[in-house]
A = this chain, B = another copy of it.
C-alpha cells in the first residue's frame, strides 16, 4: 500500500531511468517491509532548478559556482 514520491530537479531523467526508480523502490518496500507491490505507487515529480533552494540559494545559483 505504500505511496512514494520522489522529487528531483528537472534535468533530463529519461523514461528508462524513471522505470528503474519505480522498479527499485517498489522492490525495496517488498523486501524490507513485505508490502504488496500491486498497491504500491511511486510518483516522480520534477522541479525546475530555479524553484529549488538549498542553504538559502536556488540550485541554479549553486551550480553557477560549480557546486
> How many copies altogether?
6
CB of B59 within 8 A of CB of A19, answer: no
Cβ 8 A contact of A42, one of B15, B35, B52? B52
Given A23-B56, A56-B27, A4 and B1 contact (CB-CB distance below 8 Å)? no
Tell me if B57 and A23 are in contact (CB < 8 A). Answer: yes
Cα distance, A15 to B37, chains bound together (Å): 22
Q: Is the CB of A58 within 8 A of B4?
A: no
Q: Is the CB of A45 within 8 A of B47?
A: yes
B3 touches A41 (CB 8 A): yes
Which residues of A are in contact with B by a Cβ distance under 8 Å? 1-9, 13, 15, 17-29, 32-33, 35, 37-47, 50-61
